[in-house]
Amino acid sequence: MSDTPSYGFDTLQIHAGAQPDPATGARQTPIYQTTAYVFRDADHAAALFNLQEVGFIYSRLTNPTVAVLQERIATLEGGVGAVCCSSGHAAQIMALFPLMAPGRNVVASTRLYGGTLTQFTQTIKRFGWSAKLVDFDDLDAVKAAIDDDTRAIFCESIANPGGYVTDLDAIGAIAQGAGLPMIVDNTSATPYLCRPFEHGATLVVHSTTKYLTGNGTVTGGVVVDSGNFDWSASDKFPSLSQPEPAYHGLKFHETFGPLAFTFHGIAVGLRDLGMTMNPQGAHYTLMGIETLSLRMARHVENAKKVAAWLEADPRIEKVTYAGLPSSPYYERGKKICPKGAGGLFTFGVKGGYDACVKLVNALEIFSHVANLGDTRSLIIHSASTTHRQLTPEQQEAAGAGPSMVRVSIGIEDADDLIADLDQALAKATA
């Protein structure tokens, strides 16, 4: 398919990156379930290994099925390239890997998925990296957190769990002023609702497990490269601007230009970290993306209806959905996510921790799982699960206090979802 900007989102989500299979004419992208690929001759093999020619070597690095998915997601996000990997958590490490070094830090929002907070505050310490967690509504605090060792700014477009919308324009301006890349986790919004590159992002990451796949079948992640960052403007990013010993002194930015980060992600990141996406998982995600716009529109429609009902219910303390006019992020949401504020939010139940547990146990349609972005409606009590490892202060800062539950509203009949919540709330607050 030609890369024509006149194609709309609905067309690109089906066709971008794909062609009929040249060997058989198969219309759907085949699952290339193979570990290796036959070289034409010794010179061809050498050119591939020297990064002088693009092609397939070994499926830890590149695979035809995964390559279609990479191009499709990059096209939908408006990026120049993408690297798929084994999970959203893997994507975050893949995004930071070329930027960081021992002693370096990332400035990150306090409003992040609990697993990300744990990864940033605990796990990355083992690499000698650190994270400074800041309230991204306090722009002065974000600026003050940046120092000579900062190498990236990280946030979520629509934060998990509370549905908080980040002011990407303001954060992007700060990142640009500091000469730093802004990394945006766009999992909760997807490129249908939010286009972070249009708001100053350098890199976008996704857990493709969630809305992109949309059916709760496979795990995966992706790092999308905008191609708009000058990695050679300073000496902060030697992995991209300086000679790479493993490739005879090749300089990724000098050689590959806007695609430097993407090529590094494959040639070094996947080569050495091995966080590979399997081709069958890529196939499931490609099929899911074909209906992304249809699903996201329904997620938003249902979420607005359910959130409005909850907000009016006296058994509910508060609802955090940015699609409600009462939300402090309502106007920002319309700017950052003009097609809607997604399907993810939290609400507080009167009766606190115990009432939340009773609510979760009493629901019949909602599934109690540690996932989001499924066609099915999902619920979880974050304080006792996804955010359990955090301190009470960190839980509150992340919007996951003990009286809050997180819902991922699916594409079922909204009236059925409301009825299910109604009967469960009656039992939880009796």
Q: What is the side-by-side strand order in the sheet with 367-368?
A: 316-319, 344-349, 404-408, 378-380, 367-368
Q: Is 52:64 a contact under the CB 8 Å cutoff? A: no
Contacts of 235 (CB under 8 A, 6+ apart): 241, 242
Which of 234, 268, 288 is where one domain is finished?
Answer: 288
Q: Are residues 249 and 353 in the same domain?
A: no
Q: Are residues 311 and 412 in the same domain?
A: yes
Q: Are residues 250 and 196 in the same domain?
A: yes
Task: Decide: pTM greater than 0.85.
Answer: yes
Cβ neighbours of 291 (radius 10 Å): 17
Q: What is the CATH number of the domain that holds 223?
A: 3.40.640.10
Reading the chain (430 residues) residue by residue, the pLDDT tens digits are 555 458 999 999 999 999 898 888 999 999 999 999 999 999 999 999 999 999 999 999 999 999 999 999 999 999 999 999 999 999 999 999 999 999 999 999 999 998 899 999 999 999 999 999 999 999 999 999 999 999 999 999 999 888 899 999 999 999 999 999 999 999 999 999 999 999 999 999 999 999 999 999 999 999 999 999 999 999 999 999 999 999 999 999 999 999 999 999 999 999 999 999 999 999 999 999 999 999 999 999 999 999 999 999 999 999 999 999 999 999 999 999 999 999 999 999 999 989 999 999 999 999 999 999 999 999 999 887 766 777 777 777 777 788 899 999 999 999 999 999 999 999 999 8
Q: Are residues 191 and 61 in the same domain?
A: yes
Q: Report the alpha-carbon distance of residue 312 to residue 267 in Å, rounded.
A: 53
Q: Are residues 213 and 338 in the same domain?
A: no
Residue 134 lies in a domain: no
Number of domains, the chain: 2
CA distances from 21 to 25, 72, 221 (A): 5, 16, 25
Q: Which residue reads 């009462």 in tokens? A: 326
Q: Are residues 329 and 408 in the same domain?
A: yes
- The b-or-e profile of 213-247 (16+ CB within 10 A means b, else e) is bbebebbbbbbbbbbebebeeeebbebbbbebeee
Residue 169 lies in a domain: no
Q: Are residues 243 and 304 in the same domain?
A: no
Q: Is 50 exposed, middle or buried (0-12, 13-18, 19+ CB in 10 A)?
A: exposed
Residue 224 lies in a domain: yes
Residue 372 lies in a domain: yes
Q: How far from the centroid of its chain's Cα atoms is residue 7's Cα? A: 24
Residue 124 lies in a domain: no
Residue 410 lies in a domain: yes
Q: Are residues 195 and 271 in the same domain?
A: yes
Which of 271, 288, 305 is where one domain is finished?
Answer: 288
SS3 letters across the chain? CCCCCCCCHHHHHHHCCCCCCCCCCCCCCCCCCCCECCCCCHHHHHHHHCCCCCCCCECCCCCHHHHHHHHHHHHHHCCCEEEEECCHHHHHHHHHCCCCCCCCEEEEECCCCHHHHHHHHCHHHHHCCEEEEECCCCHHHHHHHCCCCEEEEEEECECCCCCCECCHHHHHHHHHHHCCCEEEECCCCHHHHCCHHHHCCCEEEEECCCCCCCCCCCCCEEEEECCCCCCCCCCCCHHHHCCEHHHCCECHHHHHHHHHHHHHHHHHHHHHHCCCCCHHHHHHHHHHHCCHHHHHHHHHHHHHHHHHHHHCCCCEEEECCCCCCCCCCHHHHHHHCCCCCCCEEEEEECCHHHHHHHHHHHCCCCEECCCCCCCCCEEECHHHCCCCCCCHHHHHHCCCCCCEEEEECCCCCHHHHHHHHHHHHHHHCC
Residue 296 lies in a domain: yes
Taking alpha carbons only, the member of 81, 72, 135, 31 closest to residue 260 is 81
Range of the domain at 52: 9-99+181-288
Which of 228, 261, 288 is where one domain is finished?
Answer: 288
Q: Are residues 301 and 253 in the same domain?
A: no
SS3 letters across 347-390? EEECCHHHHHHHHHHHCCCCEECCCCCCCCCEEECHHHCCCCCC
Q: Are residues 196 and 63 in the same domain?
A: yes
C-alpha angle 340-6-279 in degrees, rounded to nearest 5: 75
Q: Are residues 284 and 257 in the same domain?
A: yes
Q: What is the CATH number of the domain that holds 367?
A: 3.90.1150.10
Beta-strand pair 404-408/378-380: antiparallel
Residue 122 lies in a domain: no
**What pLDDT was estimated at residue 397?**
72
Q: Are residues 17 and 89 in the same domain?
A: yes
